Structure 1
Amino acid sequence: MSIEWSLESAKRESAAVFAQAREGTAACPEPLCGILRQLIDRADPSAREGGANFIAYLLPVWTGEQAGLRPDVSRELAVGSVYMMLHYFLLDDVMDGDEIGLGPKEALAAGQLLHSLFLERYERAVPGTAELWSRYRAYTGEWAQAVSQEGRHRAEPQDAAALAAKSAPVKIGAAAVWLAAGRPERIAGAEQAAELALASLQLADDWSDWRDDLAAGEERSNAFLTLARRALEPALPEEQPLEERLVRRAAYQFGAVERLAKLARDHREELEERLEAPPGLAGFHQAVLAGVEADARKMRQTASKLAVEGGFSHFLSNRLEL
């Protein structure tokens, strides 16, 4: 796989990674083996349109290319990362009370099998290193702290590390590569580079999910809704809940999406300064940024057109899609 990013190349590599991930479930007992394969099929981005959360499982491939690691070792870590990603996906769903058609017992049992498969792949690729698992415990701690405290404090869109914390275990993919390459001193920079990309991805996800989060009473967990509220200040008191019409006003009239795009651009600038950011990671981040900027641009054009035509107030007052 070329180190230059493209959606097509990412999907090709993902297809190979997910094919190996399916094969790796063969020894698991039924009916859980079938459940695992269904989960893998759902997450496989190679057979559907659009982008995906490529960083979760391709980070070892991107970092491996930069580190000069053998492609088969990077692929082994990527397959392990698929299992890890799905393990945390199931945990998140159980905590949210939504087990995607599985009961909690099946979801947790499947998740434990996935975690065992992840450990097996990583130990095979990076044998005999206590540092790897020490770092993984730290990443898991970041994740646990983030998900257990979610909603207690308002999401801070300017705190990249906090935004990335819910995806902190993803960083094990980069740490494992540099340990396998015998360059542990590169890990800290690689972690920071991954955090920047994960932070922008979280901002983009929060922008995409704001309506669902608002309806579910989870405003405080959504960083875009924090930006929307701040765009409306001081007219909107802290104790007054957000409503859809207010979010639309913040987005179209007060530039909340522009502010979100600006934060992602800041992440991009910082990422470009980091030697530990492999081209694949930088390309993935650029794709995330391009999507947010396209939405911001579309909203500017819509707002300008409606302002000229005199329909802006009507637009903001009605339930139209952003």
Structure 2
Amino acid sequence: MMWLTRFEGDLGLIFSRAESILATIPEEFRNPTLSYLDKFHPLKEHRSKNYICYLLPYWLNEEVPIDPDHVHQISTANIMGMLYYHLIDETMDNPSLISRSQLPLAQLIHSEFIKIYSALFPSSSPFWTYYDKYIGEWAVAVTYENEQDFFQVNPARIAHRAAPVKLSVAAMMLLSGQETRIPQLEEAVDLVLITLQMIDDWQDWEKDLIEGSYNCLLSMVQADLHLSDRRPTVEEIKQAVYVEGCLIRYSERADVHHRTLSYTSTSFPLLYEFHAYLCDQLEEIAQQIERDRSLLQRGGLEYLLSQQLTKSK
């Protein structure tokens, strides 16, 4: 996993920078903000990992070198953006459960996000046009995801939930004088973001079904069952996944992304390697379900013995 191990020192540096910046916000918000940052620390165990957010600048920098401190600044800004959009998403998803302080806290973090990018790009820079574009993509995606079946009709909109991640692309290409490469890289990053969302949606499908949130796996099952007026039930989803092999086709969808990515991101091999890692994860989940199903079909005793052997290793 060179896409990760090569940059562990950089990750420690930028999270320390982010901590120092957030330690300067008003005292009333300081501890909650630092605790929230800690939930995403990539070098600590049992933390939520959002690798593409803070590693994308480093992956791009391998092929498009710029001032190393600028790379650190872009990645630190992306940490701030990640925190901000997570807080906003939580507020939108569960407004009745959110503390009144969450939106002010989000705004304080967003202010630091803007400060970092403003130090790199003056107001006349085309960077801010890209900023408006990506924020617009995010706004449309989170507003209309339950009204339009994006996974079936417009998969790029799935990626747009995380569109601000692409600020790394705009920043790196503008600072290196290679703005013409931005459209191709936008498409490549969108493909990776779709696959990332597919993995998240496999992990969260039961929660999303209860909460009424949009989910790629639920979309696939609903389309397969031709359910135009309702979402699939828990039983229908489990039947699709554990009996009918739906997850094999789900993982094949990610493989299609990977083949497409091979044509557009050969100049940025670490992004491609990261996506290969995601595809391998999804394929392993699907194959494990198929192995379990095959054992069950051959007999319950054989399945139980297999489970016991696995536990004893």
TM-score (norm 2): 0.89
What amino acid maps onto 1:174 in structure 2?
Answer: V
Structure 1 residue 46 corresponds to structure 2 residue 39: no
Distance change >3 Å, CA 108–CA 159, structure 1 → 2: same
Offset of residue 287 of structure 1: 1.7
Taking only aligned residues, the RMSD between alpha carbons, in angstroms, comes to 2.2
Distance change >3 Å, CA 125–CA 241, structure 1 → 2: closer
Q: Which residue, out of 258, 264, 289, partners 1:268?
A: 258
Distance change >3 Å, CA 12–CA 300, structure 1 → 2: farther
What amino acid maps onto 2:281 in structure 1?
Answer: G
Distance change >3 Å, CA 98–CA 279, structure 1 → 2: farther
Query: 1:255 — aligned with what?
Result: 245
Contact kept in structure 2, 1:143 and 1:169, CA below 8 Å: yes
Offset of residue 144 of structure 1: 0.5
Query: 1:319 — aligned with what?
Result: none
**Deviation per residue, 1:190-219 (Å, 9 max, x gap):** 11111010011011111111010112233x
Moved more, 78-87 or 145-154: 145-154
Distance change >3 Å, CA 36–CA 51, structure 1 → 2: closer
Contact kept in structure 1, 2:23 and 2:34, CA below 8 Å: no
Query: 2:281 — aligned with what?
Result: 291
Q: Which residue, out of 80, 83, 87, partners 2:80?
A: 83
**Deviation per residue, 1:256-309 (Å, 9 max, x gap):** 211111111111111111147622222221221111111001011011111111
Distance change >3 Å, CA 153–CA 174, structure 1 → 2: same
Q: Which residue, out of 228, 246, 253, partners 1:238?
A: 228
Contact kept in structure 1, 2:265 and 2:272, CA below 8 Å: no
Tell me, in whole angstroms, the C-alpha distance in 1 between the residues paired with 2:283 and 2:195. Answer: 12
Tell me, in whole angstroms, the C-alpha distance in 2 between the residues paired with 1:36 and 1:271. Answer: 36
Contact kept in structure 2, 1:126 and 1:179, CA below 8 Å: no
Moved more, 146-155 or 201-210: 146-155
**What percent of counterpart residues are identical?**
29
- Could you say what secondary structure the match of 2:13 adopts? helix
- Could you say what secondary structure the match of 2:53 adopts? helix
Query: 2:133 — aligned with what?
Result: 138
Offset of residue 49 of structure 1: 5.1
List alignment gaps of at least 5 residues for structure 1. 312-322
Tell me, in whole angstroms, the C-alpha distance in 2 between the residues paired with 1:26 and 1:63. Answer: 29
Contact kept in structure 1, 2:258 and 2:275, CA below 8 Å: yes
What amino acid maps onto 1:301 in structure 2?
Answer: R
Which structure has more RCO (C-alpha within 8 Å, separation ≥ 6)?
Answer: 1
What amino acid maps onto 1:103 in structure 2?
Answer: S
What amino acid maps onto 1:224 in structure 2?
Answer: L
**Deviation per residue, 1:41-64 (Å, 9 max, x gap):** 111121115882211122122112
Query: 1:316 — aligned with what?
Result: none
**Deviation per residue, 1:27-85 (Å, 9 max, x gap):** 21112222221111111121115882211122122112221112211111000000011
Distance change >3 Å, CA 200–CA 168, structure 1 → 2: same
Structure 1 residue 225 corresponds to structure 2 residue 223: no
Contact kept in structure 2, 1:21 and 1:82, CA below 8 Å: yes
Distance change >3 Å, CA 286–CA 194, structure 1 → 2: same
Query: 1:60 — aligned with what?
Result: 57
What amino acid maps onto 2:289 in structure 1?
Answer: M
Distance change >3 Å, CA 157–CA 28, structure 1 → 2: same
Contact kept in structure 2, 1:139 and 1:168, CA below 8 Å: yes
List alignment gaps of at least 5 residues for structure 2. 302-313
Contact kept in structure 1, 2:138 and 2:163, CA below 8 Å: yes
Query: 1:212 — aligned with what?
Result: 207
